[in-house]
């Protein structure tokens, strides 16, 4: 390298290092003494809430300025309430973060969010875990594999019209040729679960991590059989259970399934408002990544039985949402029709 | 087994665990007392603090909190007519009239002792049903739930007050209101006005608080003085009388407790209907209830209070046995189970039996401790009934408004509570039963839900299931029997009967009276409901259609009733003096101003924020309506706002909506108390 390039290069490097430390100081100054609210789209002790609470305890240690982190529960409208609140009146300076409802991408593509929510430009921070809903049936049905659903009718209990408990069975009927009868209107998945134990229905769709935490016994004894998982790739616990994408027949149907399954990939991910300044977004992402890597965090998660499957940086949820929103028009139309939208 | 039970008792009595249990009790009482806050809020505040505890201590603290909420929530229900949680709404019906008669002490004595017995009963039920937990829970499926809800709604006649027809129309209105929101079966948005707020339906907390609290608060302001109407010092030794009442009605206590435990153990019904059903059943089955219930009969308080404390033990049954929470609070407890590595299921009845017994003991001890604390302070609390209402009302109003706001954390909750408050006042003035509306509301969505599920599972044949058939038969009998009895009694004196039946003769003057006009308005509402649902899918419109049609029939009946000529009641008119009329006018204006100031508050929150506006509202009511000294008023309003800030901002982390003031001067948001504008 010649001297005439060397000097400016050194100068440039020095300057940018200054700039970087100046912006780190700025970020640190900004967050010092402040509070970061994590908006949770569900109630206390829910499958979303446990992640936000864990973050509230640890995130501060990795964040410049050590802001206090608190959790605000905002359940309602299948996650839409929190999302709309965050997008419209939430703070956009980086002191408020959203634990995103996992259907954010599909809801946006299906046009359920309204114009005010600019999902495409959300600043993703990172993902704690994937969250996979699974389809289970009682052993009394005699069904042991998802393929049998094509020949034999089973009755599945579901909750609200747009929840995975109804969306996935309906999608299987449309794209994999199954004969599932969906009975909707159960107040929550645990209630559907009880109906299965009572023999009123044959099975249901519910989150794998919750099922594992509360009903491991029945899984071990074979009383419950997991038939399919609502994800694009198999959960490490369930290497022998097919995904709904695998069950779909033909490219177009698989594309539709991949679209719906994207929600479990988004799982439990944190997003920041589109207007948050870049340097704060960068600091938030770094802090999140360091937190996921730290043993204090992972140990606490393990102690509390909080599952961390494929934790990831911001690029994973970002890419998933982009892909989901870029869905082919025709496929989207089929999905809309299947869901009765 | 006995060994496990004794072991568990020792585990819970460990000083540090017992200490945590006591903390749970105190917090449970506090969230119970504050209107709008309940077990859910308390548990979510406390849950993060249990992470570091051992499972026994954590569960003891959470269960203790949850168990005594139903003891604490009696206090505002009796004193102010404001239910502390939605689970004690039925306590208001007789508890508040007792306080007005100067019997707050007696009502407390009865309520706390009934709560204690009920709570212990619930723990006992849990204890004895441990070996047979699992089959027990499997007995009640969606069809039986539907039948149970129908039985619940059949009790509405007991809650209708003096005018049955109005009560039935009011219940239909409640049922119809319950169908607002996104239909789970077809995703049809039913009367959501395009808002996300109504997507999950009208929330219960603003509805119940508005309907019960506002009319009573307005009434107190209009009347002035203190809550205890006769202004004699409240008899403080009344507590002992109340305890004697409870043990004198032990049959009723046991019946109501058994009902509370059983309904608590059935997942999918929810805590808010238990006290209603217990109250309604007591009103139907106790002697002379039709004359005294709703007017300050201690037995009404006993029925409601023993049932809502007994539910706790019951609701643990499905939680432990299957991981299916019996009530919303249990859902949080289930989350705590996961965090502490407690797995519901068979193991809880075998290997982990000591943990299960520890839960039984926690509930039992918490109830003893909770009732004990309440007895200790009951005298002081009862004295509140003697405090001038001009000081009490602004404070209770502030807690009611904030309680409604925290329930959903949206400004619409404030509009809703005020709107239902005004509506409740109209209902009260015109003699429409508010309890009937609330009963219809809490049962409406359950009836629809379980009817649709039962029908899609088995078609019409579900009514033939033995459990369903039995419950429906009992329901039918309990409706018909009183009617038949009355017929039988009346048949002997036909002439007498004919004389008492008013002649149907249309009184055109009454057409413009408030009674007829309001009934016409309600009828129009039902007609609108019928027409606006034409385009919905069949499943989405079935129940709204049924509710609206029946409601329309009843409200037309009310219209005719309002128009028909009744014997003139001129007796009072002659004694009304000019002076009385002037003071009545003044009182009425005070009521109007009260509601206007609440409406002004709903606007002010957008300018100055929710909390600062509460401060202004309280100052207005204290200084201008209550004629209190400015200094004292500032202290009272300031204390309430600061306490609310601590509770709602620092502990509950409630997000305050942005107000104009903060938009214009963003620097204000950094001041203490921060972020409230």
Query: What's the CATH code of the domain at A56?
Result: 3.40.190.150
In whole numbers, what is the pLDDT of chain B averaged over residues? 87
Compare CB distances from A76 to B199, B341, B345 and report the shortest one's residue. Answer: B199
In the sheet that holds A123-129, the strands lie side by side as A68-73, A35-40, A96-99, A268-272, A123-129, A312-313
Q: Kindly state the helix (H) or strand (E) to which residue B575 belongs, with its residue range.
A: none
Residue B171 pLDDT grade (very low, low, confident, very high; cuts 50, 70, 90): very high
User: Above 90 in pLDDT, residue A328?
Assistant: yes
Contacts within 8 Å (CB) and 24+ apart, B514-522: B514/B429, B514/B430, B515/B430, B515/B562, B516/B559, B516/B562, B516/B563, B518/B426, B518/B430, B518/B432, B519/B169, B519/B555, B519/B558, B519/B559, B519/B562, B520/B559, B522/B169, B522/B173, B522/B551, B522/B555, B522/B558
Average the pLDDT over A205-215 and give the result: 89
**Whole-angstrom distance, CA of residue A119 vs CA of residue A263:** 14
Report whether B12 contacts B56 (CB < 8 A). Answer: yes
Return the SS3 of A154. strand
Decide: B471 and B145 in contact? Cβ < 8 Å: no
Reduced to 3 states (helix: H, G, I; strand: E, B; else coil), residue A165 is helix
CA of A33: how far to CAs of A36, B599, B657, B670, in Å?
Answer: 10, 37, 22, 11
Residues of A in contact with B336 (CB under 8 A): 45
Closest by Cα among A317, A305, A282, A330 to A104: A317
Kindly report the CATH number assigned to the domain that includes residue A157: 3.40.190.10
Residues of B in contact with A159 (CB under 8 A): 184
Report the pLDDT averaged over residues B54-59: 92
Between vectors from CA A10 to CA A7 and to CA A12, what angle results, nearest 5°?
A: 105
How far is B501 from B488, CA to CA, in rounded Å?
A: 17
Residues in B touching A81 (Cβ below 8 Å): 196, 199, 410
Q: Mutate which of A33, A214, A224, A297 to disrupt the B interface (most B C-beta within 10 Å)?
A: A214
Angle at B591 between CA B586 and CA B597, to 5 degrees: 120
- Same domain flag for A282 and A324: yes
Q: Kindly state whether residues A110 and A43 are assigned to the same domain.
A: yes
Give the largest Cα separation in chain A, rounded: 83
Q: Provide the pairing of β-strand A35-40 with A68-73.
A: parallel
pLDDT band, residue B671 (cuts 50/70/90): confident
Report CB contact under 8 Å: A44, B40. yes
pLDDT digits (tens, 9 = 90+) for B566-613: 645 444 445 667 778 888 888 899 999 999 999 999 999 999 999 999
The H or E element that residue A82 is part of is helix A80-88
Using the beta-carbon criterion (under 8 Å), do B331 and A190 form an inter-chain contact? yes
In a domain, A179, yes or no: yes
Mean pLDDT for the stretch of residues B268-272: 81
- Structural domain containing residue A166: 133-263
State whether A113 and A138 are in the same domain. no
Nearest to A185 among B199, B322, B449 (CB): B449
Q: How far is A157 from chain B (nearest CA, A)?
A: 9
Domain membership of residue A216 (yes or no) is yes
User: What is the per-residue pLDDT for A189?
Assistant: 87
Residue A1's pLDDT is 44
* pTM of the entire predicted model: 0.87
A215 to B334: CB separation less than 8 angstroms, yes or no: no
Cα dihedral: B389, B392, B397, B399 (round 10): -160
Number of Cα atoms under 13 Å in the Cβ half of residue A94: 23
User: Which chain A residues have a beta carbon less than 8 Å from that of B142?
Assistant: 195, 200
Tens digit of pLDDT for each residue in A113-142?
Answer: 877 788 999 999 999 999 999 999 999 999
B456/A183 touch (CB, cutoff 8 Å), yes or no:
yes
Same domain, A63 and A49: yes
Strand partners, A35: A68
Q: Percent of chain A beyond pLDDT 90?
A: 71
ipTM of the complex: 0.83
Over pLDDT 90: what percentage of chain B? 49
CB atoms within 10 A of CB B94: 29
> From the CA of A84, how many Å to the nearest CA of chain B?
9
Nearest residue, CB atoms, B341 vs list A155, A198, A305: A305
Residues A119 and A147 in one domain: no
User: Do A155 and A182 sit in the same domain of this protein?
Assistant: yes
B43 interaction partners in chain A (CB closer than 8 Å):
44-45
Q: Which residues 6+ apart lie within 8 Å of B81 measured at CB? A: B92, B96, B99, B212, B213, B216
**A43/B344 CB distance under 8 A:** no
**Per the CB < 8 Å rule, is B339 touching A216?**
no
Domain count, chain A: 2
Reading the block at residue B354, the tokens are 């000591």
Domain boundary (A248, A263, A278) is at A263
pLDDT band for B370, please (50, 70, 90 cuts): very high
Give the H/E segment covering residue A227: strand A224-229
Q: Check: CB of residue A265 under 8 Å from CB of residue A321.
A: no
Q: What's the rounded Cα separation, in Å, for the pair B582 and B574?
A: 15
Domain ranges (residues) in chain B: 2-226+236-482, 499-567, 579-670
Task: For residue A263, give how far its alpha carbon lies from the nearest alpha carbon of chain B (Å).
Answer: 20
Residue of B51, B141, B409 lying closest to A304 (CB–CB)? B51
With an 8 Å Cβ cutoff, are B334 and A340 in contact? no
Which residue does chain A place closest to B452, by CA atoms? Answer: A185
A318 touches A266 (CB < 8 A): no
In a domain, A334, yes or no: no
Residues 6+ away with beta carbon under 8 Å from B204: B86, B272, B441, B442
Nearest 10 degrees: Cα torsion B383, B386, B389, B394 = -10
8 Å CB contact of B51 and A49: no
Q: E strand or H helix at A96, and its extent?
A: strand A96-99
The minimum CA-CA distance between A320 and chain B, rounded to whole Å, is 26
Same domain, A149 and A119: no
Q: How far is CA B542 from CA B237, B284, B443, B451, B549, in A?
A: 54, 31, 16, 10, 11
- Kind and range of the H or E run holding A326: none
**What's the token pair of residue A214?**
């509360």
Q: Domain ends where: A208, A239, A263?
A: A263
Residue contact A160–B182, C-beta within 8 A: yes
Whole-number Å distance between alpha carbons of B169 and B436: 9
A187 — pLDDT class (breaks 50, 70, 90)? confident
Q: H-helix or E-strand containing A44?
A: none
Kindly report, residue by residue over B374-417, the tens digit of the pLDDT: 999 888 888 888 888 888 899 999 999 998 998 888 899 999 99
Size of interface A-B (CB pairs under 8 A): 145
Same domain, residue pair A60 and A26: yes
* Mutant choice from A190, A219, A296, A338 vs B, greatest count of B C-beta within 10 A: A190
Between residues B509 and B105, the one the model is more confident about: B105
A54 CB-side CA count, 13 A: 30
Q: Answer whether B44 sits within 8 Å of A186, measured CB to CB.
A: no
Tell me, yes or no, whether A240 and A139 share the same domain: yes
Residue that is written with structure tokens 């699974």 in the block: A134
Helix residue spans in B130-183 (DSSP H): 133-137, 142-154, 164-178
% of chain A exceeding 70 in pLDDT: 93
Are residues A171 and A255 both part of a single domain?
yes
Average pLDDT over residues B503-525: 81
Contacts of B339 in chain A (CB under 8 A): 45, 50, 304-306
Q: Residue B417 and residue B205: Cα distance in Å, rounded? A: 8
Q: What is the DSSP letter of B624?
A: I
> Highest-confidence range of B158-167, B185-194, B327-336, B600-609, by mean pLDDT?
B600-609
Asked if omega into B673 is within 30° of 0 (cis), the reply is: yes
Question: Best residue in B55, B187, B327, B412 to probe A by mutation, most A CBs within 10 Å?
Answer: B187
- Yes or no: say if B425 and B222 are a contact pair by the CB < 8 Å rule: no
pLDDT band at A10 (very low <50, low <70, confident <90, very high): low
């Amino acid at each position: 390298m010649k001297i005439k390039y060397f000097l400016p290069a050194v100068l440039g490097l020095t300057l940018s290092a200054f700039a970087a430390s100046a912006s780190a100081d700025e970020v640190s100054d900004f967050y010092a003494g402040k509070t970061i609210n994590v908006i949770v789209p569900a109630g206390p002790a829910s499958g979303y809430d446990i992640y936000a609470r864990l973050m509230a305890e640890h995130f501060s240690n990795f964040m410049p300025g050590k802001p206090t982190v608190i959790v605000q529960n905002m359940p309602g409208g299948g996650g839409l309430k929190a999302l709309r609140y965050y997008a419209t009146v939430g703070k956009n300076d980086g002191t408020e973060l959203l634990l995103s409802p996992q259907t954010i991408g599909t809801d946006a593509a299906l046009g359920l969010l309204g114009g005010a929510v600019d999902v495409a430009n959300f600043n993703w921070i990172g993902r704690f875990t994937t969250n996979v809903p699974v389809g289970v049936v009682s052993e009394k049905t005699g069904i042991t594999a998802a393929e049998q659903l094509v020949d034999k009718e089973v009755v599945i209990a579901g909750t609200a019209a747009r929840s995975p408990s109804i969306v996935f069975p309906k999608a299987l009927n449309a794209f994999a040729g199954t004969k599932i009868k969906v009975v909707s209107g159960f107040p929550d998945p645990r209630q559907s679960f009880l109906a299965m134990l009572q023999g009123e229905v044959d099975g249901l769709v519910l989150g794998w991590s919750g099922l594992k935490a509360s009903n491991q016994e029945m899984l071990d004894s074979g009383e419950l059989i997991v038939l399919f998982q609502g994800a694009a790739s198999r959960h490490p616990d369930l290497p022998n259970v097919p995904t709904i994408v695998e069950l779909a027949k033909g490219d177009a149907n698989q594309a539709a399934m991949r679209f719906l399954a994207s929600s479990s990939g988004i799982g439990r991910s944190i997003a920041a408002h589109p207007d948050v300044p870049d340097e704060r977004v960068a600091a938030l992402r770094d802090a999140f990544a360091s937190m996921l890597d730290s043993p204090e965090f992972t140990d606490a998660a393990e102690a509390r039985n909080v599952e961390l499957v494929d934790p990831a940086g911001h690029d994973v949820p970002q890419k998933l949402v982009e892909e989901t929103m870029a869905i082919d028009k025709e496929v989207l139309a089929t999905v809309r029709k299947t869901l009765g939208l | 087994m006995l060994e496990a039970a004794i072991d568990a008792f020792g585990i819970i009595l460990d000083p540090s665990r017992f200490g945590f249990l006591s903390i749970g009790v105190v917090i449970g009482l506090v969230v119970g007392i504050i209107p709008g806050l309940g077990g859910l809020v308390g548990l979510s505040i406390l849950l993060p603090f249990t992470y570091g505890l051992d499972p026994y201590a954590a569960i003891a603290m959470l269960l203790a909190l949850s168990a005594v909420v139903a003891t604490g929530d009696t206090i505002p229900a009796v004193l102010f007519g404001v239910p502390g949680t939605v689970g004690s709404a039925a306590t208001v019906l007789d508890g508040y009239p007792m306080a007005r008669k100067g019997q707050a002490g007696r009502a407390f004595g009865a309520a706390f002792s009934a709560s204690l017995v009920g709570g212990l009963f619930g723990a006992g039920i849990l204890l004895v049903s441990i070996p047979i937990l699992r089959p027990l829970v499997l007995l009640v499926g969606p069809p039986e739930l539907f039948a149970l809800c129908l039985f619940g709604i059949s009790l509405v006649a007991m809650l209708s007050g003096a005018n049955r027809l109005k009560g039935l129309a009011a219940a239909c209105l409640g049922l119809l209101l319950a169908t607002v929101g996104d239909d789970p079966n077809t995703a049809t948005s039913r009367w959501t006005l395009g808002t996300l707020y109504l997507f999950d339906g009208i929330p219960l907390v603003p509805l119940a608080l508005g309907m019960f609290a506002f009319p009573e608060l307005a009434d107190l302001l209009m009347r002035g003085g203190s809550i205890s109407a006769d202004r004699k010092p409240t008899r403080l030794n009344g507590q002992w009388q109340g305890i004697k009442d409870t043990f004198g009605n032990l049959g009723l206590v046991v019946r109501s407790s058994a009902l509370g435990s059983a309904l608590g153990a059935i997942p999918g019904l929810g805590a808010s209907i238990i006290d209603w059903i217990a109250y309604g059943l007591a009103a139907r089955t106790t002697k002379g209830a039709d004359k005294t219930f709703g007017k300050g009969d201690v037995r009404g308080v006993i029925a409601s209070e023993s049932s809502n404390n007994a539910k706790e033990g019951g609701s643990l049954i499905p939680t432990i046995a299957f991981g299916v929470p019996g009530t919303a609070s249990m859902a949080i407890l289930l989350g705590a189970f996961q965090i502490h590595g407690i797995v519901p299921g068979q193991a809880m009845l075998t290997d982990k039996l000591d943990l299960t017994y520890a839960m039984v003991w926690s509930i039992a001890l918490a109830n003893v401790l909770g009732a004990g604390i309440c007895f200790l302070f009951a005298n002081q609390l009862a004295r509140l009934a003697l405090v001038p209402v001009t000081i009490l009302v602004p404070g209770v109003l502030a807690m009611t408004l904030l309680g409604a706001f925290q329930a959903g954390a949206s400004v619409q909750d404030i509009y809703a509570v005020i709107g239902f408050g005004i509506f409740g006042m109209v209902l009260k003035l015109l003699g429409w039963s508010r309890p009937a509306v609330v009963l219809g509301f809490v049962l409406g969505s359950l009836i629809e839900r379980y009817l649709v599920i039962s029908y899609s599972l088995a078609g019409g044949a579900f009514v033939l299931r033995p459990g369903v058939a039995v419950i429906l038969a009992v329901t039918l009998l309990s409706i018909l029997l009183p009617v038949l009895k009355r017929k039988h009694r009346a048949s002997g004196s036909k002439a007498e009967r004919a004389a008492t039946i008013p002649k149907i003769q249309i009184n055109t003057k009454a057409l413009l009276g408030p009674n007829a006009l309001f009934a016409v308005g309600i009828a129009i509402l039902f007609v609108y409901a019928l027409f606006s649902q034409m385009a919905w899918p069949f499943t989405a419109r079935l129940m709204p259609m049924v509710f609206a049609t029946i409601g329309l029939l009843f409200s037309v009946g009310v219209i005719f009733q309002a128009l028909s000529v009744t014997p003139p009641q001129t007796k009072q008119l002659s004694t009304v003096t000019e002076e009385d009329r002037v003071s009545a006018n003044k009182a009425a204006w005070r009521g109007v101003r009260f509601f206007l100031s609440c409406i002004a508050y709903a606007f002010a929150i957008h300018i100055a924020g929710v909390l600062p506006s509460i401060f202004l509202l309280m100052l207005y009511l204290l200084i201008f309506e209550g004629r209190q000294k400015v200094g004292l008023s500032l202290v009272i309003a300031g204390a309430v706002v600061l306490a609310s800030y601590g509770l709602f901002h620092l502990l509950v982390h409630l997000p305050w909506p942005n107000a104009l003031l903060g938009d214009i001067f963003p620097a204000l948001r950094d001041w203490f108390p921060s972020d409230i504008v």
